[in-house]
């Protein structure tokens, strides 16, 4: 089974079992699921969450409860601009400045309320939260296949804002937790915490990518992402 086969299997199962939630269909995206709020609550019970002051999170629907909880608990939240195409590729949500947390943490609202920042304007990140299509108990994560989550981590690592010790977490439904997955590529970021509505699995994921895997990027993609040109130069 390759990565796309596994994605299709999980998307089909979420739909056929009635677990998927808006937006529909679950296919082709980080799928939303019944119990996403409970998974966020489980994550918030971990010491990694409690100790974090800065969180970088993905913009997808199943992690919306995570993003809202972060701001409500006074944590500074960072989300990437779509496809990193801005010269300041991240958006900062400062809990002291955001007045409408519900709107600011949505995909459309973050561009209105977030402050664009480059890596040189971001403090060290205390916790990374990612969405997944599938994930193993060993921490191997399968995303939707575009690679931006891993690339965002790599950019932050190039600026020493994350490292091997930075906790990485994903919130998923139990059906997305699989016994095995294809071997990860060198640029794939492993998950230290796999959190479902039922509980938390602590993995032994080990080392994380040390920076940009230039061999995995086409010239066209490098040209489309301004911050890569800054790093490359």
Condensed to tens digits (0 to 9), the pLDDT of residues 71-91 reads: 999 999 999 999 999 999 999
Query: Which residues does 230 contact at the CB level (< 8 Å), separation at least 6?
Result: none
What's the chain's average pLDDT? 96
Strands laid side by side in the 141-142 sheet: 141-142, 134-136, 177-178
Choose among 74, 192, 48, 39: nearest CA to 126.
48
- The predicted pLDDT at position 230 comes to 87
Q: What is the rounded end-to-end Cα distance, in angstroms, of the chain?
A: 39
Q: The whole model's pTM is what? A: 0.96
Which residues pair with residue 76 across a beta bridge? Answer: 54
Residue 87 near residue 64, CB atoms below 8 Å: no
- Cβ atoms < 10 Å from Cβ of 147: 17
* Structural domains counted in the chain: 1
Residue 30 near residue 11, CB atoms below 8 Å: no
- The predicted pLDDT at position 225 comes to 95
Low-confidence ranges of the chain (pLDDT < 70): 233
Choose among 1, 73, 71, 64: nearest CA to 32.
64
CATH of the domain at 26: 3.40.50.10420
pLDDT in tens, 202-213: 998 889 999 999
Domain housing 130: 3-232
pLDDT in tens, 8-34: 999 999 999 999 999 999 999 999 999
Please count the helices (runs of H) and the strands (runs of E) in the chain: 9, 11
Q: Which regions of 52-95 does DSSP assign to beta strands (E)?
A: 54-57, 76-80, 90-93
Crossing angle for the helix pair 64-72 and 36-44, to the nearest 10 degrees: 40
């Amino acid at each position: 089974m390759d990565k796309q086969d596994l994605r299709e299997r999980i998307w089909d199962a979420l739909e056929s079992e009635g677990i998927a939630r808006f937006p529909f269909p679950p296919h082709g995206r980080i799928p939303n699921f019944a119990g996403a709020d409970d998974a966020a609550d489980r994550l918030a019970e971990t010491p990694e969450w409690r100790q974090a002051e800065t969180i970088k999170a993905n913009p997808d629907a199943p992690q919306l409860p995570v993003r809202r909880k972060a701001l409500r608990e006074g944590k500074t939240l960072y989300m990437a601009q779509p496809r990193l195409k801005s010269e300041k590729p991240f958006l900062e949500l400062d809990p002291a400045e955001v007045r409408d947390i519900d709107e600011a943490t949505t995909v459309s609202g973050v561009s209105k309320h977030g402050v664009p920042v480059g890596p040189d304007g971001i403090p060290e990140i205390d916790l990374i939260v990612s969405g997944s299509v599938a994930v193993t108990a060993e921490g191997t994560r399968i995303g939707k296949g575009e690679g931006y989550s891993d690339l965002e981590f790599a950019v932050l690592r190039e600026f020493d804002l994350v490292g091997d010790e930075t906790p990485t977490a994903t919130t998923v439904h139990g059906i997305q937790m699989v016994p095995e997955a294809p071997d990860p590529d060198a640029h794939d970021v492993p998950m230290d915490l796999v959190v479902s509505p039922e509980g938390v699995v602590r993995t032994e994921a080990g080392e994380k990518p040390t920076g940009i895997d230039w061999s995995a990027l086409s010239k066209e993609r490098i040209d489309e992402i301004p911050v890569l040109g800054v790093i490359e130069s």
